[in-house]
């Protein structure tokens, strides 16, 4: 279906305005409205209060009883530092929780066995038992979820810089956990790229990380690794498949990927402002600007609302991966429509696009640094949605169009006047909300990650130059 021309033109004009506002021009906007303090503090409390204090593992979701998501643990590590900076916990408490987590990760059993381990070759399984820390059922050894965990570990290795025994141990464990990872385990069988996962039962997953999605930072970490690094030309395997992902012209020209989390996960850790690889030097803008344009495109799509869902508007938008009511086919406005449970969502005219009327707060709020002028009004509107903002901030998602009664839901509940509302908070969706607010306020995550030698090394070996990388060298060690 074609987008409404007026909404597309509106989005284009906003993009043009956005492209003319480099980050320094936004400095005066870094003070967020008072209501955002409450969003951040409640989101912090999700990680602080739901983690297992004995091992630092964080549940995939809450309040539904859940296994731990290793990527949620990665988001929790900087969350503790944010809490210490904002006065929501003491630095000592944040330090001790961080150290507990890193000690567990370093000592957790590794090996190729199907059971009784937490990971292999330095990587961790996607999900772990909350208490034992061992592989949950038959989940995959995950390259991307381990990468999020490593980013969190590298961050705390910079943040905890005091000269005392516990903070020194945090720094040492951070480096040891990262150095242990053998990235070439995911490049067996002559692959140029890095595989998405591995099972001890079947081996590597067929699909590699390629195109435009959340996998960008995997290659940066793998290139920058001090021991088991990948060849310097591995970045080419990532960018070589960009072709089908290009969309738009002029100020809307961008590498598109429909779910917004794919544009957020690398950039909440790595400051891509002003640095460019060969592809972006040719394009004439950087990946930060690319994500800004894609944020506007997501909003323009929801404003146009080609599928006619209830509730979408210029201030109520945001499509990404999130919970949904369930995998169902039901009538909607005289047509049969398909709804989904947990799934990646985004504009239907972009790669991996899928739209069933479900909005995820993490989609817009995770893009705060890219486009604060449209994200903050959306956040204010989300605060007014019945039942959405609660104990730990925003519940994962909601769908105003799904007001069916008597159907079997995968999760959540239906209030006919307002539609479907998720039951749970998800760690991987809470993380972007909190970390990106910290980046917007004072570049908190970016400032410390710019100090990580491996990040600078990986970017330089991938061909990035300019900006804060000027004068850096791509040496190992």
420-464: pLDDT as tens digits = 999 999 999 999 999 999 999 999 999 999 999 999 999 999 999
What are 396's two structure tokens?
A: 């994962």
Contact of 212 with 262, CB cutoff 8 Å: yes
**How far is residue 147's CA from residue 345's CA, in Å, rounded to a whole number?**
22
Burial annotation 360-399 (CB, 10 A radius, 16+ → b, else e): bbbbbbbbbbbbbebbbebbebbeebeebbeebbbbbbbb
Instruction: Look at residue 11 in the predicted model and tell me its pLDDT.
Output: 39
Contact of 293 with 254, CB cutoff 8 Å: yes
**How far is residue 445's CA from residue 426's CA, in Å, rounded to a whole number?**
21
**How far is residue 430's CA from residue 100's CA, in Å, rounded to a whole number?**
21
Taking 50 as the pLDDT cut, the residues of the chain under it are 1-29, 474-477
Task: Return the CATH architecture of domain 55-241+443-477.
Answer: Alpha/alpha barrel (1.50)
Instruction: Look at residue 27 in the predicted model and tell me its pLDDT.
Output: 41
What are 100's two structure tokens?
A: 């507990």
Start and end residues for every CATH 1.50.10.140 domain found in the chain: 8-16+251-429, 55-241+443-477
Contact of 314 with 301, CB cutoff 8 Å: no
DSSP string, 300-342: HHHHH-TT--SS-BTTB----SB--S-SEEEEETTEEEEE-SS
Instruction: Look at residue 471 in the predicted model and tell me its pLDDT.
Output: 58
Contact of 128 with 52, CB cutoff 8 Å: no
Q: What is the DSSP letter of 348?
A: T
**How far is residue 238's CA from residue 248's CA, in Å, rounded to a whole number?**
21
- The CATH fold assigned to 8-16+251-429 is Glycosyltransferase (1.50.10)
Q: Cis bond leading into 63, ω under 30°?
A: yes
Instruction: Look at residue 4 in the predicted model and tell me its pLDDT.
Output: 33
Instruction: Look at residue 160 in the predicted model and tell me its pLDDT.
Output: 98
Maximum separation of any 2 CA atoms in the chain, in Å: 67
Q: Which residues contact 5 (CB under 8 A, 6 or more apart)?
A: none
Cα 310–chain centre separation: 27
Instruction: Look at residue 188 in the predicted model and tell me its pLDDT.
Output: 87
Contact of 151 with 449, CB cutoff 8 Å: yes
Contact of 43 with 430, CB cutoff 8 Å: yes
Contact of 319 with 355, CB cutoff 8 Å: yes
Q: Which residues pair with 414 in a beta bridge?
A: 420
């Amino acid at each position: 279906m074609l987008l409404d021309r007026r909404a597309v033109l509106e989005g284009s004009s906003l993009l043009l305005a956005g492209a003319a506002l480099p980050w320094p021009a936004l400095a005066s906007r870094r003070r967020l409205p008072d209501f955002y303090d409450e969003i951040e503090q409640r989101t912090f409390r999700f990680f602080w209060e739901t983690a297992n204090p004995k091992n630092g593992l964080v549940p995939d979701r809450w309040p539904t009883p859940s296994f731990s998501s290793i990527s949620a643990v990665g988001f929790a590590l900087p969350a503790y530092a944010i809490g210490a900076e904002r006065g929501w916990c003491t630095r000592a408490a944040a330090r001790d929780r961080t150290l507990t987590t890193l000690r567990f990760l370093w000592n957790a059993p590794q090996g190729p066995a199907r059971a009784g381990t937490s990971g292999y070759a330095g990587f961790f399984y996607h999900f772990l038992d909350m208490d034992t820390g061992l592989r949950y059922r038959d989940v995959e050894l995950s390259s991307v979820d381990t990468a999020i965990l490593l980013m969190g570990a590298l961050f705390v290795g910079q943040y905890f810089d005091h000269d005392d025994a516990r903070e020194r141990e945090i720094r040492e464990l951070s480096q040891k956990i990262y150095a242990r990872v053998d990235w070439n385990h995911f490049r067996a069988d002559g692959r140029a790229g890095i595989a998405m996962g591995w099972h001890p039962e079947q081996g590597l997953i067929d699909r590699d990380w390629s195109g435009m999605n959340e996998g960008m930072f995997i290659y940066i970490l793998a290139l920058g690794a001090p021991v088991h690094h990948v060849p310097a030309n591995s970045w080419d395997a990532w960018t070589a498949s960009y072709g089908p992902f290009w969309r738009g012209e002029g100020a809307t020209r961008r590498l598109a990927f429909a779910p917004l989390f794919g544009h957020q996960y690398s950039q909440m850790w790595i400051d891509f402002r002003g640095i460019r690889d060969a592809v972006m030097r040719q394009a004439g803008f950087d990946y930060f600007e690319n994500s800004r344009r894609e944020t506007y495109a997501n909003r323009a799509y929801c404003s146009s609302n080609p599928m006619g869902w209830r509730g979408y508007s210029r201030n109520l938008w945001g499509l990404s991966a999130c919970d949904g009511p369930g995998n169902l086919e039901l009538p909607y406005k005289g047509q049969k429509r398909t709804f989904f449970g947990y799934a990646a969502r985004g504009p239907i005219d972009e790669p991996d696009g899928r739209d069933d009327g479900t909005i995820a707060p993490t989609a817009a709020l995770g893009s705060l640094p890219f486009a604060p002028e449209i994200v903050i009004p959306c956040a204010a509107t989300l605060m007014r949605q019945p039942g959405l903002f609660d104990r730990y901030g925003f519940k994962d998602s909601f769908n105003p169009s799904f007001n069916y009664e008597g159907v079997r839901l995968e999760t959540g509940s239906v209030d006919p006047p307002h539609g479907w509302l998720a039951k749970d908070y998800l760690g991987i969706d809470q993380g972007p909300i909190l970390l990106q607010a910290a980046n917007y306020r004072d570049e908190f995550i970016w400032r410390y990650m710019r100090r990580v030698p491996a990040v600078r090394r990986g970017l330089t070996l991938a061909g990035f130059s300019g900006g804060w990388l000027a004068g850096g060298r791509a040496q190992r060690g």
